[in-house]
Structure 1
Amino acid sequence: MSTSPEMHDRHSERDTLDQLLSAVRSGQSRVLVIRGEAGVGKSVLLDYLARNASGCRVARASGHEYETELAYAGLHQLGARLLDLRDRLPDPQRDALMAAFGLSTAPAPDRFVVSLGVLGLLSAAAEERPLLWVIDDAQWLDKASVLTLAFVARRLLAESVGLVFAVREPSNLRELAGLPELALGGLGDSDARALLDSALPGRVDELVRDRIVAEARGNPLALLELPRGLPPTELAGGFGLLDTTPMANRIEQSFLRRLDVLPAATRRLLLVAAAEPVGDVSLLWRAAGRLGLDAGSAAPAQAEGLIDLRGRVRFRHPLVRSAIYRTATLPERERAHQALADATDPYVDPDRRAWHRAHATTMPDEDIALELELSAGRAAHRGGVAAAAAFLQRSTELTPDPAERGRRALTAAKATFDSGAPEEAHKLLALARLCPLDDRQNAQLTHMRAQIVYALRRGSDAPPLLLAAARRLAPLDSEAGREAYLEAMEAAIFAGRLNEGGPGEVATAVRDAPPAGRSPRPIDQLLDGLATRFTQGYVAGVAPLRDALTAFGRDRGDENALMRWVSLPWLVAGDLWDDETWHELATQAVRRARDAGALVALPLALGHRAFVHVHAGEFAAAASLTEEADAITEATGNAPAKFAALVLSVWRGVESTARPFADWGLQNVVGRGEGRGIGGYGYATAVLYNGLGQYDLALTFARSACEYDDLGICGFALVELIEAAVRSGAHEEAVAAFRRIEERTNASGTDWALGVQAWAAALLHAGEAAESRYREAIERLGRTRVAVHLARAHLVYGEWLRRENRRTDAREHLEAAYEMFSRAGAAAFADRARRELLAAGATARRRTVETQIMLTPQEGQIARLARDGLSNPEIGAQLFISPRTVQYHLGKVFAKLEITSRGQLGRVPQSRF
């Protein structure tokens, strides 16, 4: 196949695209981001890709600089024709897609459920025919579309789907970071000269040729366009200094020189076309008619090859569009937008009409401001939070009444904050402060400022701001005020030792604040319980906090509220040594997050559930969940939740991997100002060194953890401190720590609490007193879910029996500990038990990796779900992957397990999963 002049060179790039197409046709997914400066040839390569995609269903979209406010506009270009496959999707995904595309009145969809729906559509379409989506100028896609496509790109695997993005550099489009990339540079000198020669008429002086090649730096569009702006005298032999302005600007200037010679009517028509990014030719002509322009106005631009009006409005290059629009005067732009607004049907496309009206004026106009506010509501209903924020910001700017402007500024700030732009939200709050606000609005402003600070930095500066906001809001809105108090409590708990006032300051304020109403919500009970816990002490807080946990467990009301407060109840359950509620809350949180498609909350819930699995000795399940959490946070761009992975690492007990991970975790939390993480780091590292038998180090880290009463950590760390202190000869320190834990565990009264107390007491006693407590610990912990603690009870009892020279009895418990730790994968504790067994006269051998191939964490999770009877679509919905990807992994599972069907999974030993 011959190549056009624009395709000089690019042999390796075309090979890359050919390989991508080959993979897609063979049933594999491929994603590629082509990056390069304006004019370097990205669009030409996309044309090559689409032209050679025989056998594939191809859809193309292009981002437009002036359409970033319109939610899902880019996705609509790509996916509208696939909606006939929507009945193949689960109901929540189908409903979310219909709402996002404005085809239903369903509630506003979570954008991640929309993303799952798109993933499902792609998978369904690819079953019929390989599918290729090509997206040009992705840096200008609307926020909702780019977030959706970035998520989908990271979840594709075994579908016959290709996603190829072209992004102009420099760009701040972070959502595509980490995806496979093709960096597109300039042509080599010989190809650059050949392309230039194809564009230049007649003979050109060598000095001029060298100058143009040097200035263009291999940029194909520059090589084709820059000579068009040179007068004949320059082409004949003149030369000057190299231009150092950015390449995009120079190409724009070249286009402008070509535009300057066009008739005024033609330039006006081009401006209308540039102001309307949809490319609707009929709309263009309707708007042109309102400006007195006819078809003849387009002819000169078409003759110059600057615009194509066949089917859709297409400019020669986006730089033509931007050159036309940016150089027009403000009155000229306003007239163009007003003509487009007048030509747009207010019933069929009210949002685009409002958008054009907003750009047709710089003067305050309540009518337009109200239209924009209504558009924002429709955008939010479709799940376009970023679009809603953009509409509201412009609505605020055009509002003439100061009081109404303040109200809209607050609303815009909230939408902007929810869209993930806290800095922009802060600017809108500054605008709101300049407007007359009532007491409630002032309180809302204070609250939102505090929330922004907490979102930007979860450190010690957030709790006092949230507390001040709660105090101001509570007298005006009791429920909102109490939620703000709970936010302040959460912030104080996470700031921990780095916050001077601590949770106690918030707790004191809560006790003095108006109480909850007659029917307190679970979050009201949680707030009151925490206030008691941090003012009257652990013992006094047990009963009200237990009631709060019961309320959270049975509540089936506001799912959003329950998802918002997923962490605090779970931390409280651990703090109370309530393993059943701890397990249930984590399981419930994962289920709710999966059902809702709440991918912001899900990684946190998965971390909680993984933490529970670690304590249950189910390390493989924990690893699977942490891997899933990592994949989701990578796909969504949210902050990773790593504490469960850290705890899993230290319980596995490989110092060379666990210690660097722990050190990284400490630096990370200190950098964010999360003092609670310091306690978590101390606890985790103490576990590591107790397992390794390096008790002096374990004692140092446990001391650090126990210096502050971190909710859900301090109690666990006290256990580590007692063992480390006893083994290090720090008897008095161990006794002091035991008194602290005895008070807590007596108040809790659960088998986990009293089992740990008995184990700790046994370490401090001798003779019959020690033995009875060891036996009590094993009995009580044997009735719980916390298998690793039961294994440790067997271990310390076996160690004590060996020192008592009761070798036969010691071997029984040491073998139990060794078996439990080995099965879980707790290498350090297992090795500690093995050494004791050898000292007790047993012939224990180190366990080696089994010869059979083990499943990856994700394969294990899919295998477990398939064994439990879930279908591929159900597994895919739970794990946020497509059914085809589930089948792909199951194929690998069957091969590794040497089985041929799902029905045989039930006969595979649990250890293989």
Structure 2
Amino acid sequence: MLYGRGAEQERIRRLLEGAREGASSALVIHGEAGIGKTALLGYAADLAAPGRVLRTVGIESEMELAFGGLHGLLTPVADHVDRLPRPQAAALRAAFGLSGEVVGDRLALAVAVLTCLSQAARGSSLLCLIDDAQWLDQASLDALTFAARRLHSQGVVMLFALRDSVPGGQITGLARLRLPGIDSAAAEALLTDRVADLSPNARGQIVEQAQGNPLALLELPTALTAEQRAGRLNPVTLPAGPGSPTSRIQETFQEQLRRLPDATRAMLLVAAADDSGGLDLVLRASTRFGATVEDLEPAERATLIVLTEDTLSFRHPLIRSVTYQDTPLARRLAAHRALADALGDTMPGDQQADRRAWHLAAATTGTDDHVADAMVSVARRAGGRQGTASASAAYERAAQLTTVPARRARLLASAAFTSAEAGQFHRTAALTDRINALALDPAMLADFARVRAIVELDRGTPHQATRILLECMDRLASSADLAPVLAEAVSTAQSSGDRSLMSEVGSRIPALSRHSIARVMADPCGTGSGYPRRPAPARDAGFAERILAGTYGQLVADHHTALELAAACVRDCRDHDVVGWLPTSLHLLAEAQLSLGLHEEAHATATEGLAVAEQFGRNHRAAYLRGTLATLAALRGNQEHCTGLGDRALRYADAHGIELAAAHAHRALGLLGLGLGQVEDALSHLEAAGARVEHPLLSARLLPDLVEAAIRAGQPDRATQPALALAAWAKAAGHPAAVALSERCQAISGPDDQTEQHFTTALHLHGEGSAQPFERARTELLYGEWLRRERRRTHARHQLHAALETFEGLGAQPWASRARTELQASGGAADSGGSANTAISRLSPQEREVVRLAATGATNREIAAQLFLSPRTVGHHLYRAFPKLGINSRTELAQALDGPWSG
């Protein structure tokens, strides 16, 4: 399988298709060593079947053997020589040493090659592959390129693979295809598929080092130790691994380097040990070895390096790797010490200080508290500059350097915590195993417990993760250290669905206003006296507390607050490189967007969250995100996708005791059944979801669906208790959106003489331009159905038109189909009617908001800030909206919105 070569593969495919139709062509594929030229030739050979394929490979040691390459290519079709005209046959026999004659007429020989290839292609296409053409003997290359330039309608394709920056192999007059490095996405995919035990952090650095070279991507990891493959990489150098490089290309570079003078090799080692690209630093450090700028000339002539006035770079990433790995340890240590000294001579600055500290650490073989202090400073600066992975590596190196055991434990705990924030969970687990918890102070103990719980969540169960946090809470004396621990304990206990465990967490929460939300969420009985109002985490609150507050906002129907907190957490994750919290933050954001009818945004957010969770092994959060995506699929009526996601989430949740994620999956499957009219199946799933979580806050989101499913299934008795629980939750939450849902459910499950009052109250609470368009449309649909049954068809059509318009805008096809059927039964038109026929009605709710703000003159960035979107997403919405409105630019928006716009 080739990665990142779609365009190149398509070009080769077209050439071979042309050959099957009788057309001939030639192409020179060129690029640096390891870039994938041979792999593309292999792709062509596979694609050419069942046609004939001829191959030859240039070999550097055989470059002086005239016609050796030609002989390798044409041997399989040697029987055609006897059919050639006599002068051509004689020329070929002489070239192949079959006649004892000397090749006297090179033109006759070249024509013979052309004729021989034409004859070999008769009755089928012919593919000629010439690999490593730069090492082909010149006589063979001349004959082959002569033929390639003169082939026309014989059905022959000739592909030459040519390495750049190597003497020889000059090919002119043929089409060329330069292979650049593959992009980062393809590089990530290649490493993920081919190097199984490489951590995401190590993979990211290898991707950066390899610069898109596929061979380098596969070879560079071989130099890493098991610990380095798990994620601890020194940012200033690629560590040397055991053994010597084994690839032919690496051995070639190795031999070239060994031919250089000692002073030149010393300078290249310095450059490889730092690879900052700064020529001045290399020159200053190299003076420690008596080398000067003139000593770089042999390496420059050998095209091993590229020099400018102020930069030095290796022509190929493997040259740097070989330079460093093929040097004895003592010299590598000396190079790092020289770089540290040179950096110490420059003006002070954080970046220079960090690089100097890393070089000092790389030059130290034992312990050194002074260097350990420097690494701690590096870690603190890295954390502040948005580099949690770098901070973790610096903390771990400091732990290795310190002579104080208790300090070593604290530094390892810091390394573990920052590695979890960076999403290096395999490394986090390995670090926690090396920590002596008894040596930690309360603050460090809290961090240590949290990373242990994170590891347990993704490897074990939320029940055991909660136990870890409870043990920590018992040891903590300071309430300041307690807040983030109890926030995570509440979340993990809720995931477990264990009411007794939730009570245990609640009993440890201090009676402080700061913890009121946590107390309510941990209380398995909820509260009958009202929930705390808008979540307001402390100014210094960490991710755990803010996520808990946002989750609480979502649970009490304060979806705008949940959106605000989630969007802020996502921004902070991105700004500070806190990958560990990113899937959870994205999950909360997707759920808030879903609740607010931002279905396209929710799908994009949840899809990203799932990709990040899968990449970094956050299996626990991935189960929740699959539930979110299953819910979106249910709303769209995508039965196969919804069932696949829901079933996968359920399997994982059941295997790991994640009852809340199981409830989310059941709810998605129930919503699918409700939309498709499979009400018995819907009721079964929704009741199963309710059985997983009995906490009033956690089960509230299930209740409106459960009540509707029971009523539509003709079993109103199974709706009674859920309707009462929903009313109690709505009263305690006090938010209009919550009360609107309760009123709707009372309308369909309560006394007939109060039905219309409940419906009208619900619609009033939903409000015009509802922040929850899907829920308002469901209320309109149910109200319209009731009105039709009451034979009030005109009023029914008004509600059903509105519901249909919203469902269509949201892409909720099953619900739109239901509304359309009801509309037709009430005597209405099959389309959404009325205002839905205007251009504005064709926009999705999110597109309407974007368009409305853009019409005021707001920029994409300003719109993005107001709607918690990215500027790119805003541009995407406008790109989709303009054709629907029949306009081409922003300047036409105001006129397009004049009249039909009622927002």
Class of the TM-score when normalised by the shorter of the 2 chains = 0.5 to 0.7
Residue 730 (structure 1) aligns with? 715
Distance in 2 separating the partners of 1:792 and 1:259: 73
- How far the C-alpha of 1:710 sits from its partner, in A, is 5.5
- How far the C-alpha of 1:527 sits from its partner, in A, is 1.3
Q: Deviations over 1:478-521 (max 9, x none)?
A: 2222321220111122343xxxxx2541333432x36255xx42
Q: Deviations over 1:591-638 (max 9, x none)?
A: 786699669376345424323323xxxxxx433454466468769978
Please tell me whether residue 690 in structure 1 is matched to residue 671 in structure 2. no
Residue 611 (structure 1) aligns with? 594
Check the 8 A contact 1:781/1:787 in 2, yes or no.
no
* Aligned counterpart in structure 1 of residue 370 of structure 2, from 359, 367, 370: 367
Residue 521 (structure 2) aligns with? 530
Change (3 A) 1:436 1:466: closer
Superposition TM-score, scaled by structure 1 size: 0.64
Change (3 A) 1:280 1:383: same
Distance in 1 separating the partners of 2:611 and 2:899: 32
Change (3 A) 1:796 1:446: closer
Distance in 2 separating the partners of 1:701 and 1:304: 70
Question: Residue type matched to 1:274 in 2?
Answer: A
> Tell me, which stretches of 5 or more residues in structure 2 are unaligned?
13-28, 46-52, 76-128, 136-159, 170-218, 223-244
Please tell me whether residue 466 in structure 1 is matched to residue 498 in structure 2. no
Query: Which piece of structure 1 moves more, 666-675 or 365-374?
Result: 666-675
* Aligned counterpart in structure 2 of residue 721 of structure 1, from 706, 717, 741: 706
Alignment of 1:346-425 (within 5 A): 346=345, 347-348=347-348, 349-425=352-428
Please tell me whether residue 864 in structure 1 is matched to residue 727 in structure 2. no
Check the 8 A contact 1:628/1:858 in 2, yes or no.
no
Check the 8 A contact 1:41/1:220 in 2, yes or no.
yes
Check the 8 A contact 1:894/1:901 in 2, yes or no.
no
* Aligned counterpart in structure 2 of residue 812 of structure 1, from 770, 782, 795: 795
Q: Deviations over 1:762-800 (max 9, x none)?
A: 5556xxx42224423432442235565565556556656
- How far the C-alpha of 1:457 sits from its partner, in A, is 6.8
Q: Point out the structure with max Rg over C-alpha.
A: 2
- How far the C-alpha of 1:421 sits from its partner, in A, is 0.8
Residue 704 (structure 1) aligns with? 688
Check the 8 A contact 2:629/2:645 in 1, yes or no.
no
Question: Residue type matched to 1:784 in 2?
Answer: H
**Aligned-residue RMSD, C-alpha:** 4.9
Please tell me whether residue 622 in structure 1 is matched to residue 599 in structure 2. yes
* Aligned counterpart in structure 2 of residue 283 of structure 1, from 275, 281, 284: 281
Distance in 2 separating the partners of 1:220 and 1:250: 16
Residue 115 (structure 1) aligns with? none
Check the 8 A contact 2:555/2:698 in 1, yes or no.
yes
Q: Deviations over 1:385-439 (max 9, x none)?
A: 2222222222221222222222222222222222221221222233332995456
* Aligned counterpart in structure 2 of residue 898 of structure 1, from 868, 886, 890: 886
Residue 778 (structure 1) aligns with? 760
- How far the C-alpha of 1:814 sits from its partner, in A, is 6.0
- How far the C-alpha of 1:882 sits from its partner, in A, is 8.6
Residue 172 (structure 2) aligns with? none
Distance in 1 separating the partners of 2:609 and 2:442: 41
Please tell me whether residue 339 in structure 1 is matched to residue 322 in structure 2. no
Residue 198 (structure 2) aligns with? none
* Aligned counterpart in structure 1 of residue 247 of structure 2, from 249, 252, 267: 249
Check the 8 A contact 1:222/1:251 in 2, yes or no.
no
Change (3 A) 1:333 1:434: farther
Residue 268 (structure 1) aligns with? 266
Please tell me whether residue 506 in structure 1 is matched to residue 507 in structure 2. no
Check the 8 A contact 1:652/1:828 in 2, yes or no.
yes
- How far the C-alpha of 1:370 sits from its partner, in A, is 1.5
Residue 112 (structure 1) aligns with? none
Check the 8 A contact 2:484/2:545 in 1, yes or no.
no
Please tell me whether residue 823 in structure 1 is matched to residue 826 in structure 2. no
Q: Deviations over 1:613-670 (max 9, x none)?
A: 23xxxxxx43345446646876997877465554444345565665556546545755
Q: Deviations over 1:696-743 (max 9, x none)?
A: 222212221221325645234333333333443435434444454455
Question: Residue type matched to 2:325 in 1?
Answer: R
Change (3 A) 1:728 1:199: same
- How far the C-alpha of 1:280 sits from its partner, in A, is 3.1
Residue 450 (structure 2) aligns with? 447
* Aligned counterpart in structure 2 of residue 842 of structure 1, from 827, 830, 837: 827
Question: Residue type matched to 1:690 in 2?
Answer: L
Residue 85 (structure 2) aligns with? none
Change (3 A) 1:867 1:301: closer
Distance in 2 separating the partners of 1:182 and 1:679: 52
Check the 8 A contact 2:446/2:485 in 1, yes or no.
no
Residue 321 (structure 2) aligns with? 322
Question: Residue type matched to 2:270 in 1?
Answer: V
Q: Deviations over 1:120-173 (max 9, x none)?
A: xxxxxxxxxxxxxxxxxxxxxxxxxxxxxxxxxxxxxxxxxxxxxxx979xxxx
Change (3 A) 1:906 1:595: farther
Question: Residue type matched to 1:379 in 2?
Answer: A
Distance in 2 separating the partners of 1:209 and 1:291: 49
Residue 586 (structure 1) aligns with? 563
Question: Residue type matched to 1:368 in 2?
Answer: V
Check the 8 A contact 1:196/1:223 in 2, yes or no.
no
Change (3 A) 1:689 1:307: closer
User: SS in structure 2 opposite 1:686?
Assistant: helix
Distance in 2 separating the partners of 1:289 and 1:593: 48
Distance in 2 separating the partners of 1:781 and 1:248: 72
Distance in 2 separating the partners of 1:747 and 1:215: 76
Check the 8 A contact 2:547/2:566 in 1, yes or no.
no
Q: Deviations over 1:3-25 (max 9, x none)?
A: xxxxxxx99759989xxxxxxxx
User: SS in structure 2 opposite 1:721?
Assistant: helix
Change (3 A) 1:471 1:455: farther
* Aligned counterpart in structure 1 of residue 539 of structure 2, from 558, 580, 583: 558
> Tell me, which stretches of 5 or more residues in structure 1 are unaligned?
1-9, 18-39, 45-166, 170-180, 228-244, 497-501, 615-620
Change (3 A) 1:710 1:309: same
Distance in 2 separating the partners of 1:490 and 1:182: 53
User: SS in structure 1 opposite 2:766?
Assistant: coil
Alignment of 1:645-664 (within 5 A): 646-653=630-637, 655=639, 659=643, 662-663=646-647
Question: Residue type matched to 1:683 in 2?
Answer: R
Distance in 2 separating the partners of 1:680 and 1:308: 57
Question: Residue type matched to 2:502 in 1?
Answer: V
Change (3 A) 1:223 1:365: same
User: SS in structure 2 opposite 1:420?
Assistant: coil
Distance in 2 separating the partners of 1:758 and 1:514: 34
Please tell me whether residue 479 in structure 1 is matched to residue 483 in structure 2. no
Distance in 2 separating the partners of 1:728 and 1:802: 19
Alignment of 1:167-182 (within 5 A): none
Change (3 A) 1:684 1:379: closer
User: SS in structure 2 opposite 1:706?
Assistant: helix
Check the 8 A contact 2:744/2:762 in 1, yes or no.
no
Change (3 A) 1:15 1:295: farther
- How far the C-alpha of 1:356 sits from its partner, in A, is 1.7
**Relative contact order, CA 8 A, sep 6+: which one is greater?**
1
Question: Residue type matched to 1:679 in 2?
Answer: A
Distance in 2 separating the partners of 1:288 and 1:698: 74
Alignment of 1:123-138 (within 5 A): none
Distance in 1 separating the partners of 2:6 and 2:673: 56
Distance in 1 separating the partners of 2:449 and 2:870: 44
Superposition TM-score, scaled by structure 2 size: 0.65
Question: Residue type matched to 2:383 in 1?
Answer: A
Change (3 A) 1:510 1:891: closer
Check the 8 A contact 2:334/2:363 in 1, yes or no.
yes
Distance in 2 separating the partners of 1:573 and 1:258: 65
